[in-house]
Amino acid sequence: MQISKLEMCILLGIAIVVVAILAVVIVPRLAGSAPAAQSSIARVTQTPTPSAIATSTPAPTPTAQTEQQILDGIVTSTVSVYSVLVCDSLKQYAALSIPEIITKVLAEYPTTGLSDQSRQIMAQRVLTESTAKSCPEQSPRVAAGIVQG
């Protein structure tokens, strides 16, 4: 079985998006608790208590990100890094409809921490914001395709 150039480019684009998503979702979760602990320690040591009895206050616990916060982070970082690539792919694959592009991307790369509805919203927002940033001439096509899909 031979893969066409179109399929190869789509897969490459999808791979790049997945790596970006993983970098945005996993890395902050791994390093997320360390800054909160350091800042609470700094606050405790900077404010000495004048009383003779030592009082301890529990350190604030880091809160888990909401699905909306995860979604916003993924969209922001993906658009920031890959908007030009998204625009190049839209120009190169003008024959594909926007719903087809979104379906292929979402089928290949599941997003950790997001529901199916949020994944669909993420894909639509990445396309919309990428075209607004890097290729405004593609914005009408993307907007029409999202309305269709």
Is 136:86 a contact under the CB 8 Å cutoff?
no
pTM for this entry: 0.57
Q: At what angle do helices 98-108 and 139-148 cross, to 10 degrees?
A: 70
Q: What is the pLDDT of residues 17-66, one digit of tens each?
A: 766 665 666 655 555 544 444 444 444 444 445 544 545 555 555 567 78
Predicted pLDDT at 135: 94
Q: What is the pLDDT of residues 66-108, one digit of tens each?
A: 888 888 888 898 899 989 998 998 888 889 999 998 887 787 7
Q: At what angle do helices 116-134 and 67-92 cross, to 10 degrees?
A: 50
CA 6, 139, 104, 149 torsion-angle sign:
negative
Of 17, 4, 22, the residue nearest 127 (C-alpha): 17
Q: What is the pLDDT of residues 2-29, one digit of tens each?
A: 767 777 667 667 867 766 665 666 655 5
Is 142:90 a contact under the CB 8 Å cutoff?
yes
